[in-house]
Amino acid sequence: MPSSKPFIFNSYSQRKIALKFSYSGWSYNGLAAQSVPTPLPTVEQTLWDALSKGRLVDASKSFDSAGWSRCGRTDKGVSSAGQVVALWVRSAYTPYNAPHAPHAIEAFKQPTAARPPSLSKAQHASIDSADESERDSVRERVYKEAHEAQIFKESQPQTHELNYIQILNSLLPPSIRILGWAPVHPAFDARFDCLRRHYKYYVDPAASPQGPGLDVGRMNTALQRLKGTHDFRNFCKVDASKQIKNFHRTIHDAWIEREENLNLHCVNLVGSAFLYHQVRCMMAVLFLVGCGKEEVSVVDDLMRVELDPEHPHLPTVIGKPIYDMAHDLPLCLYDCVYDDSKVVWRSAPCGSESE
């Protein structure tokens, strides 16, 4: 029997895409892949393993080799309903049938290695049955015919891309689901091209970390004071290794809504970017306000890290007060928002480049 055809990843074309997906945070040791063993798998490593098994990336290479970027890093226990990563993946298109303008693939890489032609059983048999004196010439002729047939096949019109959603969801555990994919430009970065990130934090007023009887109205009043551009150094966990000097971030919108079917309240926070543990720290302060242990004005106090020249009598809070962060499990990265003209999500099984 002939040996199985080797899979040479670099003999296939690649394109850059963004993937939108959801995951249950409690099943994983956070989003980001780690260089050391972790008690639980990470979301990224699980996704990479599925990409490798589906031969969509080169399993022998690293995340960096695929141009990997992520939108928002989530910690252990935190879930997402709309996380986004971007990377180069194998494409069904070839240099011979890739679409041209106006539907050309913006980020398209041609193969860098030759793909061995596929031989049929009859072709293998013709080589094996040839006289020894003629076997080399027969082999050369058969491989030439196979190569020409392969080029002809690759030149035929290709109307649909690989079914990325189906391939990955068939290989991923149920706790991670691919929701859609989008063609992106070569320089696209899932983190830096994101316009807004929308977080949701679910609250049960009858069973909060500070005890029952949360005043959701007080929490919402305090929440509104977080909107706008502020210095949030007292609402985050400072990571000395990252050497962050700018703690200013912008909260575009914030509100609390009631989830009727779940008997819960949902705190919504929409911002351009967030500091390390910023949402959980803000929620911790909101819980203190909601249970009456702090006044609503504590939010303004914590954001006043420099002397206010218009109100010099007001105190500044230079060192972050000690308080426990809110729990990770109720937190969800709900959505990552991009420019609709640059990122068009596809959720259908397959998609034509002209769609």
Q: Active-site residue numbers? A: 75
125-to-2, 121, 143, 266 alpha-carbon distances in Å = 10, 6, 13, 68
Give 231's Cβ-side CA count (13 Å radius): 17
Q: Which two tokens stand for residue 258?
A: 């009631």
Task: Return the exposure string of 16-35: e unless at least 16 CB atoms fall within 10 Å of the residue's CB, then b.
Answer: bbbbbbbbbbebbbbbebee
Euclidean distance between CA atoms 202 and 329, whole angstroms: 9
Task: Return the exposure string of 306-329: e unless at least 16 CB atoms fall within 10 Å of the residue's CB, then b.
Answer: eeeeeeeeeeeeeeeeeeeebebe
How far from each other are the two terminal CA atoms of the chain, in whole angstroms?
A: 44
Task: Decide if 336 contacts 204 (C-beta within 8 A).
Answer: no
Euclidean distance between CA atoms 66 and 57, whole angstroms: 7
Euclidean distance between CA atoms 62 and 162, whole angstroms: 22
| CB proximity list for 296: less than 8 A, separation 6 or greater | 218, 221, 222, 225, 289
